[in-house]
Amino acid sequence: MTGAIVCGAGTAGLAAAATLRGAGIEVIVLEQTGQIGASWRTRYDGLRLNTTGWMSTQPGFRASRRRYGEFPSRDAWVQYLEDYAAHHCVDVRFGTHVRRLEAANGGWRVETDRGDLQARFVVIATGFDHDPNLPDWPGCERRKLLREVGTLIAEDVRRNRLNRRPVYATADTALDAGATEVSSGAVAG
Ligand SMILES: Cc1cc2nc3c(=O)[nH]c(=O)nc-3n(C[C@H](O)[C@H](O)[C@H](O)COP(=O)(O)OP(=O)(O)OC[C@H]3O[C@@H](n4cnc5c(N)ncnc54)[C@H](O)[C@@H]3O)c2cc1C
């Protein structure tokens, strides 16, 4: 039986794994994709963290301004997560989708698409904002829904298929999306 299994190699999963490892607990991280920080990698090109590097620093490895920038870009942040995992020698098993957890033998049985594992402790770090919550607006099903608003807008602008598109919201992603459109010569409203 392994000491601990962490589900998800994103920001939270890597921090949990490094902290557990630092406490002397053997840890395996199970990640469904083939890469660390998968959620960040698929976000839009122009993304910058709205938190500074020092505010976003994970336990035990500083996100230095010189190396990753004051407000790290998407790619700089992915690099930081890669460096973080390497720094802490985090053992990540890629391509492993966790399907189910069940209490067993004083610990947990973790059912994955690559077979079962046993661990004393399990951390679920599969992403609190991994799945977007799309409003149920009439007519939405006929439109191209914005799975992640910025990603699609950036793609559409690159392919020059849009010249006007509403952005509903004033939070960071919406403002980034609007700025992406404007800087690409499109009209944002
Ligand atoms: C556009 C955008 C901008 C953001 N900007 C900031 C910011 O500037 N600063 C900030 O602090 N936060 C920001 N956030 C929030 C940010 O997502 C969280 O702070 C943090 O990255 C979430 O980390 P996480 O590890 O919980 O999830 P994620 O990074 O989503 O990681 C979850 C991981 O679990 C894996 N996974 C999921 N299900 C399974 C499964 N069943 N089996 C195995 N693996 C699985 C996924 O593939 C993924 O790698 C932003 C979010 C968005 C959407």
pLDDT for 64-106, tens place per residue? 999 999 999 999 999 999 999 999 999 999 999 999 999 999 9
Predicted model pTM = 0.85
For atom 6 of ligand 1, the residue with the nearest CA is 49
The pLDDT of 146-172, averaged and rounded, is 52
Domain identity same for 97 and 160? no
Domain identity same for 118 and 78? yes
Distance (Å) from CA 143 to ligand 1 centroid: 26
**What span, in angstroms and rounded, lies between the C-alpha atoms of 139 and 180?**
25
Asked whether 128 lines ligand 1 (CB < 6 A), one says yes
The answer, yes or no, to whether residue 51 has pLDDT greater than 70, is: yes
Nearest ligand 1 atom to alpha carbon 173 = 1
Domain identity same for 97 and 14? yes
Q: Which of 101, 124, 147 is the last residue of a domain?
A: 124
Please report, for the domain that includes residue 90, its CATH number. 3.50.50.60
Q: Strand pairing partners for 93? A: 30
Q: What is the pLDDT of residue 47?
A: 87
The answer, yes or no, to whether residue 187 has pLDDT greater than 60, is: no
Predicted confidence band at 148 (pLDDT cuts at 50, 70, 90)?
A: very low
Asked whether 151 lines ligand 1 (CB < 6 A), one says no
**What span, in angstroms and rounded, lies between the C-alpha atoms of 158 and 141?**
24
**What span, in angstroms and rounded, lies between the C-alpha atoms of 105 and 14?**
26
Domain identity same for 100 and 184? no
Distance (Å) from CA 128 to ligand 1 centroid: 7
Asked whether 98 lines ligand 1 (CB < 6 A), one says yes
Name the residue of 101, 126, 133, 173 to mutate for ligand 1: max ligand atoms within 8 A of Cβ. Answer: 126
What b-and-e string marks burial along 113-128, b requiring 16 or more CB atoms within 10 Å of the CB? eeeebebeebbebbee
Domain identity same for 87 and 146? no
Domain identity same for 137 and 70? no
Q: Tell me, what amino acid is at 53?
A: G
Could you tell me if 182 and 188 are in contact, meaning their C-beta atoms sit under 8 angstroms apart? yes
Q: What is the pLDDT of residue 185?
A: 58
Predicted confidence band at 108 (pLDDT cuts at 50, 70, 90)?
A: very high
Q: What is the pLDDT of residue 54?
A: 93
Domain identity same for 29 and 117? yes
How do residues 25-44 score in pLDDT, each as one tens digit?
Answer: 999 999 999 999 999 998 87
The pLDDT of 8-19, averaged and rounded, is 98
Domain identity same for 117 and 41? yes
Q: What is the pLDDT of residue 14?
A: 98
Tokens standing for residue 144: 């191209």
SS3 146: coil
Domain range holding 85? 2-124
Domain identity same for 36 and 95? yes
Domain identity same for 164 and 89? no
For atom 45 of ligand 1, the residue with the nearest CA is 8
The answer, yes or no, to whether residue 142 has pLDDT greater than 50, is: no
Q: What is the pLDDT of residue 134?
A: 65
Q: Which of 93, 124, 155 is the last residue of a domain?
A: 124
Domain identity same for 90 and 145? no
In terms of DSSP bridges, do strands 164-165 and 187-188 run parallel, antiparallel, or are they unpaired?
Answer: parallel
Please compute, for residue 118, the number of CA atoms within 13 A of its CA located in the half-sphere on the CB side.
Answer: 6
- Whats the size of the chain, residue-wise? 189
Q: Which of 68, 95, 124 is the last residue of a domain?
A: 124
Domain identity same for 163 and 90? no
| Number of domains comprising the chain | 2
Count the Cβ atoms, other than its own, within 10 Å of residue 90: 22
